[in-house]
Structures are given as C-alpha cells and as structure tokens.
C-alpha cells in the first residue's frame, strides 16, 4: 500500500468530466482491507446499482468517496475535480438506521438540513429556505407531515424525508445507501419514480441495493462489488450469472435468487 503514486502513467482512461471518477481506492479497517484498489468511472445521467454480499464494502465505498472515512490510498474526483471542492454537487442519503429518530426535530427541520450549506455558517434559516424544504417534502408526497416529529413517521415516510432532504440540496450526483431497505411497496414505487426523474434531469445516482430481483428493472448500470470490483458496466452486459457467481461466491440461496432474477430478465 506504500508504493509511490505513479498512477498518472497507468493506462486507465479517466474521462475528465465524469460525474464520479474513482482511482486506486483502497480502504482498510484495523489493517484489514475492506475495499481494494477500486477503479471506476461512472457515466453521467445513469442510475447505478451497487450490489454485492454483506460485508462486500458497499457502504464503505460510498463513505470513502464522501470523505467520511479515511482512505488508505486513492483519489476520488467529482466532475473532474477533487471531491472536497465539489461538495455542493454531491448529495448523500445515509442508511435510515444511522440516525436517532427520537431527536427533537420535525420532518421539515431534517429536510432543511440538506441546504445548510447554501444557508451558510452561522446564518439563520429563512422563510425561503423553509419553502425549498417544504416543496421537497411535497415532491415526495408527505408535505402534510412537515411539522411531525420524526419518530411519529412510518419507516417509509422516514425514508422519504431523507430523499426530500437530498432533493432540496439539488445536487448533480447522489449517493444513496440502501434507500429501499424495509420500505413499503408504495414508498418503493415513489423512490423509483423519483430516481427516474433525477435521471431525466441528467443527474447521476449511485444506489446501494440488496434485492437482486429488481436490479435489472431499476438500474441501467451496475457495479458488482466484493472488496474489489468484480464487474461494472451497463446492466445488460454486466449483470450475468457468471459475474454474480464471482461476486457472491458459493452462497447458494443468493445464487438461486440471482438465477430467478436473470430468468425474469430474459422473459
């Protein structure tokens, strides 16, 4: 890991304007690598599914890109510049369990947090900021719940609050960590509609996803991850039995599920 970075001589063709360009990214936890030597260029305007078994490093990949955990090596560029200079262009939807829902804030407060950057340090939140947040809540269909304390919302509604917060931020590139986990069917449909809408606006969305059965239906690009990138590319080319086998190893139940998903894809 200590080898000098002579990456510029490497034959990897990084396009300068890609929404996300990851180069040689390695992250280790207690000296054990969690993700290893990731090289990826994500094209613009795609819905990208990140799939892989538990512990494959999916969330770690997102967090390392967002500078939330230290990288052992590697660089992450957003639209051709270092991520740290491009924070305004990047939105993040963390896992729902990552926050304390008993926190004394309303749904509207949480959505407003998505635009704290625009509000600026030490500046108060104004009516127009709240209006943006309210609009985002209406957009995800829970405008009427704006003043509810967040523990009084159902799981699906909480997930929508998180999505509204990302919407309010109006980013170009989104990272979403399992937005479909444990939500009701109506919310799942609402989320996928929203993702398609973001895509139609030319935005790029990376989604950590668990349900293999819906991958082909939801995403036009996939990254198969198991510490390393097993395969990445357009769903039609990359989401194959062979690649899934390489990603999930010998986990038979998952393979059966994958087989089912593939047969659905063909029919």
Partner 1 sequence: MTWYAIDTWIVVIGALCAMAAALPGCFLVLRKMSMMGDAISHAVLPGLAIAFLVTGSRASFSMFIGAAIVGVLTAVFTQWISNWGKVDSGASMGIVFTTLFAVGLLLIVQAADHVDLDPGCVLYGAIELAPWDIATTWTLGGVQLEIPRAALVLGSVFLFNLLIVIFFFKELKIAAFDPDLATTQGINANLMHYLLMTQVAVTTVASFEAVGSIIVIAMLIVPAATAHLLTDRLGVMLILAAGLGAMAAGAGHLMALLLPGWLGFESATTSGMMAVATGVFFLLAWMLAPRYGLLTKTLTTKRIRHSRELS
Question: Which residues form the interface with partner 1 (CB under 8 A)?
Answer: 30, 63, 66-68, 87, 90-92, 94, 98-100, 103-106, 109-110, 113-114, 116-117, 119, 121-122, 124-125, 149, 165
- Going along the chain, which residue ranges are E strands? 20-29, 32-42, 47-51, 73-78, 81-82, 90-93, 173-177, 204-208, 221-226, 228-234
**CA 267 from chain center: how many Å?**
29
Separation between Cα atoms, residue 149 and residue 28, nearest integer Å: 38
* Cβ nearer to partner 1, comparing 167 with 215: 167
CB of 130 to partner 1, least distance (A): 12
Shortest distance, position 92 Cβ to partner 1, whole Å: 5
**In the complex with partner 1, which residue's Cβ is closer, 52 or 91?**
91
User: How near is the Cβ of 149 to partner 1 at its closest, in Å?
Assistant: 4
Closest approach, Cβ 220 to partner 1, in A, equals 25
Q: What is residue 173's three-state secondary structure?
A: strand
Report in angstroms the alpha-carbon separations of 244 from 67, 179, 221, 223, 255. Answer: 29, 22, 14, 11, 7
DSSP single-letter state for residue 31 = T
Least Å distance between CB 87 and partner 1? 5
Look at residues 188, 249, 246 and name the one whose alpha carbon lies nearest to residue 213: 188
Least Å from the CB of residue 48 to partner 1? 18
- Is the CB of 125 or the CB of 231 nearer to partner 1? 125
Give whichever of 70 and 249 is closer to partner 1, judged by the CB atom: 70
Contact between 184 and 22 (Cβ < 8 Å): no
Rank residues 105 and 265 by Cβ distance to partner 1 and give the closer one: 105
Minimum gap (Å) between residue 153 Cβ and partner 1: 12
User: How far apart (Å, rounded) are the C-alpha atoms in residues 218 and 229?
Assistant: 20
Residue 184's nearest CA partner among 155, 217, 149, 220 is 155
Phi, psi of 216 (to 5 degrees): -65, -30
Q: What is the CB-side half-sphere exposure of residue 28 using CA atoms within 13 A?
A: 9
Q: Please say which residue, 66 or 254, places its beta carbon nearer to partner 1.
A: 66
Comparing CB distances to partner 1, the nearer of 99 and 265 is: 99
The distance between the two most distant Cα atoms of the chain, rounded to a whole number of Å, is 56
């Amino acid at each position: 890991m200590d080898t000098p970075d002579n990456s510029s001589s490497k034959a990897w063709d990084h396009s300068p304007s890609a929404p996300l360009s990851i180069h040689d990214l390695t992250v280790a936890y207690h000296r054990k690598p969690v993700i290893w030597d990731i090289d990826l260029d994500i094209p613009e305007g795609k819905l990208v599914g990140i799939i892989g078994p538990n512990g494959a490093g999916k969330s770690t990949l997102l967090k390392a890109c967002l500078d939330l955990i230290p990288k052992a090596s590697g660089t992450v560029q957003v639209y051709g510049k270092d991520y740290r200079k491009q924070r305004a262009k990047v939105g993040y939807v963390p896992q729902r369990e990552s926050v304390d829902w008993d926190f004394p804030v309303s749904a509207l407060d949480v959505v407003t947090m998505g635009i704290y950057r625009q509000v600026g340090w030490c500046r108060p939140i104004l009516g127009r900021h709240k209006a943006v947040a309210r609009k985002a809540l209406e957009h995800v269909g829970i405008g009427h719940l704006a003043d509810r304390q967040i523990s009084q919302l159902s799981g699906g509604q909480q997930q929508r609050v998180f999505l509204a917060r990302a919407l309010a931020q109006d980013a170009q590139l989104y990272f979403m960590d399992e937005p479909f986990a444990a939500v009701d069917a109506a919310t799942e449909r609402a989320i996928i509609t929203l993702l398609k809408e973001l895509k139609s606006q030319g935005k790029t969305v990376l989604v950590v996803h668990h349900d293999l059965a819906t991958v082909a239906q939801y995403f036009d690009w996939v990254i198969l991850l198991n510490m390393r990138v097993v395969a990445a590319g357009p769903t039609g080319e990359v989401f194959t039995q062979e690649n899934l086998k390489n990603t999930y190893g010998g986990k038979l139940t998952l393979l059966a599920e994958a087989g089912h998903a593939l047969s659905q894809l063909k029919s």
